[in-house]
Amino acid sequence: MPSPNKKKRKALFKILQDHLGRNLPFVLYKKPGAQILTALLQSDKSLDTTLDFKRPGFVMAPFDAGSGGSSLVFLRPDAHYYCKYKPVKHPTLMADPIPNQVGREIHIDLVAEALKDIHADMLQKVVVSRRFSVPFTADLLDTAHGMMLAYPNAFTYLFHHPGAGTWMGATPELLLKSHDGLGETLALAGTRAADPTLAKHNWTAKERFEQQVVTDFIVHQMRAMALEPQMGPVTNIQAGKLWHLGTAIRAPLPMDKAGALLKALHPTPAVCGLPRDQAHSFIRENENYSREYYTGYLGEIGIEQPECFSTYVNLRCIQIRNGRAFIYVGGGITADSDAEAEWEETQQKSTTVLSFLENSWKAIG
C-alpha cells in the first residue's frame, strides 16, 4: 500500500472530483470523533469481491449477498490521502420528516404482517424497513462535507464504485473493530427522539428488550467461537436528533478468527431479527425492495496498521442515483410494537439524512 499523502481539504476534494469524473472507485471517510479525513482511491474499475484480512483496503458489504445483484466490494488503496480536519461549530440542522400517506399505509401493513408472525411464535423480533427518494442536484463532495460537519461523532463516509453505486452515510453503529488483538463491538438498539431537557431517559420495556436481544446474540456468537466477551454498562448514545441504548462488548480476537466472527455477527438482530434465518426470510419475502448495502457493513482493513480494522453497520445512509437520493430507514418489531409508533420512528430516523440533504431537494407533497 502506498504511503499516505497529506493534502489540504480543497486539494483533496479536487483529486476526488477528478477521480469521480472518470467513474473510478474511491472512499472518503472520517471515524467517530476523529480529526482526520481519509481518502482511498482505486486506479481502475475492477471489482474485487474477496475479504481475507490479509490485504489493506476498504470493504463495502451488502445486507444480503447476492440480493438484487449486490456483492461485497473490496476497494484497493492504490492511492492514500489524508487531511487534518478540525471540526468547526456547525449549526444543528433541523429537517422535518416528509409526509407520505401512501408510504405510511404500506409500512403499517408491513408491521402488521410482522406482528402476525411474532404472535404466532414464528419470530421473536424482525427489523422491517422502507426506502423513499428525493431529488438530488447538489455537489456530492460538498454534501458529504456538510454531513461530516453535522455528525462529528458518527462514522461518516462517501463511497463510489461503478460496480456498487454511490453511497454516503453517518452511522452510529460499530459492527466490529480490532486493535492490538482486542476485538470490540457495540450492541445498539432502541430509539427515541433526543430531548435536551431530560437528564435521564425513561426507556420502555420494549426498547430495553430490543437492546438486550442484540447484546445476548453477540455474546452467544462470541462464546460459540471460544471467545471470552466482557460487557460494559448500558449507556445512552446520541446520534443526531435520536438516542439509542448501547453496550460495548470486548474480547481478545486473534486475526485468524476475525473473518469468521464478522460473518457470525452480520446481520445482527439490530438490523435483521431473531431467529435470524426466519427473520431474514421474512425480510426477503415481505419488503418490497432490495436493501442492497443498507444495513450491510463497511470499513477500513489494515489501513492504520496490519491486523487492525474497523467496520460499521451501514445505517442513516443514502444512495445517489439518476439525480435522486434514495433514503433508507427501518425499525425493530417485537410483540409490544405499535404500527403507528413504528411508522413515526422511521420518520424521525429519516431526519438524520434529510438534515444534511436539506439544501439539495424540494419536498414533494
Please pick, among 173, 207, 292, 358, the residue that the annotation labels catalytic.
173
Q: State the helix-helix crossing angle for 101-119 and 339-357, rounded to 10 degrees.
A: 130
Three-class SS state of 38: strand
Q: Is residue 237 part of a domain?
A: no
Q: Is residue 35 part of a domain?
A: yes
Q: Is residue 211 part of a domain?
A: no
Q: What is the pLDDT of residue 205?
A: 85
Evaluate if pTM is beyond 0.85.
yes
Q: Is residue 99 part of a domain?
A: yes
Alpha carbons 274 and 278: distance in angstroms, whole number:
7
- Tally of domains within the chain: 1
Q: What is the pLDDT of residue 67?
A: 54
Instruction: Specify burial of residue 336 (Cβ count, 10 A radius: 0-12, 13-18, 19+).
Output: middle
Find the helix or strand (DSSP H, E) in which 329 lies.
strand 324-333
Q: Is residue 206 part of a domain?
A: no
Q: Is 292 considered catalytic here?
A: no
What is the domain extent for residue 69?
A: 5-181+249-360
Q: What is the pLDDT of residue 50?
A: 94
Please pick, among 6, 14, 113, 125, the residue that the annotation labels catalytic.
125
Q: Is residue 209 part of a domain?
A: no
Q: What DSSP designation does 256 have?
A: G
Instruction: State whether the Cα torsion 128-134-140-142 is positive or negative.
Output: negative
Q: What is the pLDDT of residue 362?
A: 39
Q: Which residues of the chain have pLDDT under 50?
A: 199, 359-365
The CA-atom distances, in angstroms, between 139 and each of 15, 50, 360 are 15, 32, 9
Q: What is the pLDDT of residue 361?
A: 44
Q: Is residue 217 part of a domain?
A: no
Q: What is the pLDDT of residue 68?
A: 57
Find the helix or strand (DSSP H, E) in which 214 lies.
helix 205-224
Q: Is residue 228 part of a domain?
A: no
Q: What is the pLDDT of residue 120?
A: 97
Q: What is the pLDDT of residue 364?
A: 33
CATH number at residue 31: 3.60.120.10
Q: Do the beta carbons of residue 73 and residue 26 sit within 8 Å? A: no
Q: Is 206 considered catalytic here?
A: no
